[in-house]
């Protein structure tokens, strides 16, 4: 049997894949080999999620940020970036439209806005946003506000947030320091552990095309396993005007698709997004074919809300909406999961997370 078939067979049978084998998969280029990789990833997705897909609505409610990430359009020193801070009722309105269109979750995202993070009343305002979005939409909520203190994490968890998304981007410390300028690797990592301790589910993520090596990707896979994150993502880097990485090329998308498939092989039961924030609706089918099972970054058209890596692409045209992606879901022979199925998934994930931490405490 061919080396590739041996590895895919192991993955299919849930046997351990070695670091060298992961690197081998990352090096695949031949069309037939890639097709075999994606097929195994889809088979594993089918085993745990059948043909069902989850959809996440995206509400970027403040684009102000105190940080200076080299890759990001919204870095503080980018004078050309579009800044807004929506009112609670505007954010709730957008969340309501998303819920009404059929998404399973609302992702409340902001830059590290000092208005919320460095003022006395900021936490109260965030709590109120989470509470109002939950009560209006009756949907689970993810918060993606950047680095939070344990006080904020615990208060927002109590206010009803279900998920904390905070991407390390890379697990190579040196590369981290060139991407998230002036930020502390360990502090960002710790926030995710603290969030887990308050009962939040975690999403971890990496960027590809930012100068990482294959070994860095192997390291990320290992760290992702240890963190116990229940959702894992990879995003291709998109260069942004007015940033230090504006001339850094965007990577060939096959690298991202391979990593999506690899994540599905290594973590078949996790949620893995296909983000509309990278290429809009273009390439969505490839991401789903590679084993993703969540479509993220759905944004209501003509609402004045932006994306992150694709600030405007496909939003006002309505392509980043449930109706706008429906034809791709159909072509991929997938189906939008009923709301009850997503609720069941996160209830189970939370139970497992508690059991896991109880077992860990018992062992200690």
- Using CB under 6 A, list all residues that contact ligand SAM: 71-72, 109, 111-112, 144, 146, 166-167, 169, 205, 207, 235, 237-238, 240, 308-309
Q: Does 75 bind ligand SF4 (CB under 6 A)?
A: yes
What Cα–Cα distance (Å) separates residue 177 from each residue in 170, 173, 190, 320? Answer: 10, 6, 16, 33
CA gap 268, 143 in Å, rounded: 24
Please identify, among the stretches 8-16, 61-69, 280-288, 350-358, the one whose residues bind ligand SF4 according to the rule CB under 6 A: 61-69
Please identify, among the stretches 83-91, 182-190, 194-202, 271-279, the one whose residues bind ligand MD0 according to the rule CB under 6 A: 271-279
> Which residues are 169's β-sheet partners?
206
Please identify, among the stretches 30-38, 98-106, 178-186, 272-280, the one whose residues bind ligand MD0 according to the rule CB under 6 A: 272-280
DSSP 274: E
Q: Does 58 bind ligand MD0 (CB under 6 A)?
A: yes
Applying the rule CB under 6 A, the residues between 284 and 343 that interact with ligand MD0 are 296-297, 307-308
Stretch 154-193: interaction string toward ligand MD0, x if CB under 6 A: -----------x----------------------------
The CA-based angle 348-353-358, given to 5 degrees, is 125
Please identify, among the stretches 27-35, 115-123, 210-218, 273-281, the one whose residues bind ligand MD0 according to the rule CB under 6 A: 273-281
Please identify, among the stretches 65-73, 215-223, 290-298, 336-344, the one whose residues bind ligand SF4 according to the rule CB under 6 A: 65-73
248 membership: H or E segment, kind and range? none
Contacts of 97 (CB under 8 A, 6+ apart): 300, 303
Please identify, among the stretches 25-33, 64-72, 231-239, 311-319, the one whose residues bind ligand SF4 according to the rule CB under 6 A: 64-72
Stretch 120-149: interaction string toward ligand SF4, x if CB under 6 A: --------------------------x---
Nearest to 72 by CA among 310, 321, 343: 310
CA gap 56, 297 in Å, rounded: 6
Q: Does 275 bind ligand MD0 (CB under 6 A)?
A: yes
Count, residues near ligand MD0 per rule CB under 6 A: 12
Q: Does 228 bind ligand MD0 (CB under 6 A)?
A: no
- Give how far the C-alpha of residue 227 lies from the chain's centroid of Cα atoms, to the nearest Å: 15
**Shortest Å, Cβ 70 to ligand SF4:** 9
Q: Yes or no: say if 250 and 239 are a contact pair by the CB < 8 Å rule.
A: yes
Nearest to 26 by CA among 272, 18, 309: 18
Contacts of 67 (CB under 8 A, 6+ apart): 75, 76, 111, 112, 146, 180, 181, 182, 183
Q: Using only the alpha carbons of the chain, give its radius of gyration.
A: 19
Q: Yes or no: say if 215 and 174 are a contact pair by the CB < 8 Å rule.
A: no
297 binds, among ligand SF4, ligand SAM, ligand MD0, none (CB under 5 to 8 A by kind): ligand MD0
Q: Of residues 22, 49, 107, 313, which one binds ligand MD0 by CB under 6 A? A: 107
169 binds, among ligand SF4, ligand MD0, ligand SAM, none (CB under 5 to 8 A by kind): ligand SAM
Q: How many CB atoms lie within 10 A of CB 301?
A: 16
The SS3 of residue 358 is helix
Per DSSP bridges, beta strands 163-165 and 201-208 are: parallel
Q: Does 67 bind ligand SF4 (CB under 6 A)?
A: yes
**Shortest Å, Cβ 175 to ligand SF4:** 15
Please report how many Cα atoms fall inside a 13 Å half-sphere around the Cα of residue 180, on the Cβ side. 23
Q: Does 45 bind ligand SF4 (CB under 6 A)?
A: no
Chain residues binding ligand MD0 by CB under 6 A are 58, 107, 109, 144, 165, 273, 275, 277, 296-297, 307-308
């Amino acid at each position: 049997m061919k080396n590739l078939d041996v590895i895919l067979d192991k993955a299919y049978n849930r046997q351990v894949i070695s670091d060298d084998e992961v690197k081998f998969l990352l090096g695949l280029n031949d069309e037939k080999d890639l097709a075999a990789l994606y097929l195994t990833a889809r088979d594993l997705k089918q085993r745990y999620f059948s043909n069902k897909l989850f959809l996440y609505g995206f509400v970027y409610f403040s684009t102000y940020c105190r940080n200076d990430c080299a890759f990001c359009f919204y870095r503080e020193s980018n004078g050309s970036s579009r800044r807004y801070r929506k009112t609670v009722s505007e954010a709730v309105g957008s969340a309501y439209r998303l819920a009404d269109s059929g998404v399973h979750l609302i992702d409340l995202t902001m830059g590290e806005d000092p208005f919320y993070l460095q003022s006395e009343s900021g936490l109260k305002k965030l709590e109120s946003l989470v509470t109002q979005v939950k009560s209006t939409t009756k949907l689970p909520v993810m918060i993606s506000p950047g680095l939070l203190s344990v006080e904020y994490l615990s208060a927002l968890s109590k206010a009803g947030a279900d998920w904390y998304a905070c991407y390390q981007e890379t697990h190579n410390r040196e590369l981290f320091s060139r991407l998230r300028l002036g930020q502390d690797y360990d502090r960002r990592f710790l926030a995710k552990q603290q969030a887990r301790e308050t009962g939040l589910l975690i999403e971890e993520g990496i960027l590809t095309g930012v100068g990482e090596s294959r070994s860095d990707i192997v390291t990320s896979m290992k760290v992702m396993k240890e963190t116990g994150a229940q959702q894992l993502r990879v995003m291709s880097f998109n260069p942004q005007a007015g940033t230090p990485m504006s001339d850094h090329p965007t990577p060939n998308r096959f690298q991202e698709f391979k990593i999506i498939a690899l994540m599905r092989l290594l973590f078949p039961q996790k949620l893995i997004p296909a983000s509309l924030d990278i290429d809009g609706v273009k390439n969505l089918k490839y991401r789903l074919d590679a084993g993703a099972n969540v479509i993220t970054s759905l944004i209501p058209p003509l609402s004045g809300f932006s994306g992150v890596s694709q600030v405007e692409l496909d939003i006002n045209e309505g392509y980043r909406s449930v109706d706008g992606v429906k034809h791709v879901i159909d072509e991929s022979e997938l189906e939008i999961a009923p709301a009850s199925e997503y609720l069941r998934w996160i209830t189970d994930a939370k139970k497992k997370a508690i059991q896991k931490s109880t077992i860990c405490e018992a062992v200690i």
